[in-house]
Amino acid sequence: MAVETSLIPGLDEIVRSDDPKRRDEAARRISDLFLEGAAGLSPKHVEFFDGILTKLVPGTDLLVRADIADQLASIANAPRNLVCQLALDDEIVIAGPLLRFSPVIDESVLVEIAREKSQEHLLAMTERPTLSTGLTDVIVRRGDQEVVRATASNSGAAFSPTGFSTLVTRASHDGLLTLTVGQRDDLPDENLKELLAGSMDVIRRRLIETVKPARQAAIKRAMSDMSNLVLPAEGRRDFDPALRAVRSLQAAGNLTESALLLFAKAYKYEESVAALSAMSGVRIATLDRLISGDRYDPILIVSKVIGLEWATVRALILLRSGPNRVPPQADIEGARVNFTRLMPSTAERVVNFWKARQAA
């Protein structure tokens, strides 16, 4: 098919024109002309259309751009520069179809969009048939809960070791994400153990019920390995000095929430855990194991039983992360909401369960 500028009379004038109606009409006519013959166009002809449309389309009405983007999304030889240009549009109605389906978007453009654009752009990309490790690294780091869940459920998504670690960390506060990540056949055994260690028993049972038999065996092996794991002596914390300090405060009647808050704000982990133990009746070893895991739940539960204020609970959460790592604000807010909703009676039952297990 021969393509000549004479097919669009006055094209140069239209491109330079400020008349939006003329630009819209020209963009539709040229894109329709491309779509009619796309299957038979040579790379040279596609490049010709690309050069015209990348100059013409940006100045058109939103609905015109959206319509063109939607029609180009499934075209295997769509004009590459135009597609990338539209995929970078801030309007998701324009970028969305291309981000979901277009096979011609450069990997570098996808990564740029993942780094800079909205959560809606990220969510659209999660529907692509394949996602590279470079792309998922960015998506699982930047994405909100819905985006990360969708990425984890995409069987065509590939994850780097960093990507899997990020998924496991985020799953520690998201039961549905735990189930989704745990069902992935490509999840390495070490990440599977971390995932299970940070999940509640009910989630583990649900995971075993929903996965394929081969995956069930891997989960059971991981849980068996976890139950046989013994912490090396050099990895254990020395709580003796902290315990003596806490007992001294307790004997003087000064073991109060204010004292605990001061320990937490000073990032004194051993003293904080020893104080929580003395105030709750849960052994230090039990609290240390629970609090040093990937979930905030144990802190919320023991704090609710003791009757702590949110300011102290927040300080304990920050203590758990360490002075050089601040949890995402969304995680802190989620913990606050969960703490507010947590019924004292429920927390009491859990703490009693801990005590029963440690006694056994």
Q: Mind listing the pLDDT tens digit for each residue in 302-334?
A: 999 999 999 999 999 998 877 767 778 888 898
Rounded to whole angstroms, the Cα distance separating 99 from 94 reads 9
198 in Cβ contact with 171 (< 8 Å):
yes
Rounded to whole angstroms, the Cα distance separating 105 from 221 reads 42
**Segments making up each domain of the chain, as ranges:** 1-105, 238-359
> Which pLDDT does position 324 carry in this prediction?
67
Among 186-190, 213-217, 259-263, which is the least confidently predicted range?
213-217
- Give the CA diameter of the chain: 96
Report the predicted TM-score, pTM, of the whole model to 2 decimal places: 0.62
Rounded to whole angstroms, the Cα distance separating 340 from 344 reads 10
Cβ-proximal residues to 108 (8 Å cutoff; 6+ apart), any chain: none
Q: What pLDDT digit, counting tens, does each position of 207-227 carry? A: 888 888 878 888 888 777 665
**Which residue, among 131, 148, 138, has the nearest Cα to 117 in the 3D structure?**
138
Cβ-proximal residues to 188 (8 Å cutoff; 6+ apart), any chain: 161, 164
Q: What pLDDT digit, counting tens, does each position of 12-38 carry? A: 555 566 678 888 988 999 999 999 999
> Which pLDDT does position 89 carry in this prediction?
96
Measured CA distances, 21 to 27, 124, 213, 269, 352 (Å): 10, 30, 61, 67, 73
- pLDDT > 70? residue 118: yes
Mean pLDDT of the chain: 87
**How many C-beta atoms surround the C-beta of residue 220 within 10 A?**
11
- pLDDT > 60? residue 7: no
Measured CA distances, 248 to 96, 270, 278, 279, 357 (Å): 63, 15, 11, 13, 28
> Which pLDDT does position 46 carry in this prediction?
95
> Which pLDDT does position 3 carry in this prediction?
44
Question: What percent of the chain is modeled with pLDDT above 90?
Answer: 62
Q: What are the DSSP calls for 94-126, one per residue? A: HHHHHHHH-S-S-HHHHHHHHHHS-HHHHHHHT
Q: Taking residues 109-117, what's their average pLDDT?
A: 97
Q: What pLDDT digit, counting tens, does each position of 220-247 carry? A: 887 776 655 443 333 457 889 999 999 9
- pLDDT > 70? residue 102: yes
**End-to-end Cα, the chain, rounded Å:** 82
Q: Taking residues 186-204, what's their average pLDDT?
A: 82
- pLDDT > 80? residue 138: yes
Measured CA distances, 94 to 59, 73, 84, 150 (Å): 14, 10, 11, 21
- pLDDT > 60? residue 199: yes
Rounded to whole angstroms, the Cα distance separating 295 from 275 reads 20
Name the pLDDT band for 174 (thresholds 50, 70, 90). confident
Q: Taking the CA atoms of 183, 188, 192 and 194 in sequence, report the sign of the dihedral they define.
A: negative
**How many C-beta atoms surround the C-beta of residue 189 within 10 A?**
11
pLDDT top residue among 359 and 255: 255
**Exposed e or buried b for every residue in 64-75, given b needs 16+ CB within 10 A?**
bbbbbbbbbbeb
**How many C-beta atoms surround the C-beta of residue 135 within 10 A?**
23
Question: What percent of the chain is modeled with pLDDT above 70?
Answer: 90
| DSSP three-state, residue 157 | strand
- pLDDT > 90? residue 61: yes
> Which pLDDT does position 4 carry in this prediction?
43
Residue 235 burial by CB count (10 A; 0-12/13-18/19+): exposed, middle or buried? exposed
Q: What are the DSSP calls for 164-179, one per residue? A: HHHHHHHHTT-HHHHH
> Which pLDDT does position 127 carry in this prediction?
97
**Which residue, among 265, 356, 360, has the nearest Cα to 318 in the 3D structure?**
265
Rounded to whole angstroms, the Cα distance separating 359 from 201 reads 20
Rounded to whole angstroms, the Cα distance separating 319 from 268 reads 8
Q: Taking residues 41-48, what's their average pLDDT?
A: 94
- pLDDT > 60? residue 1: no
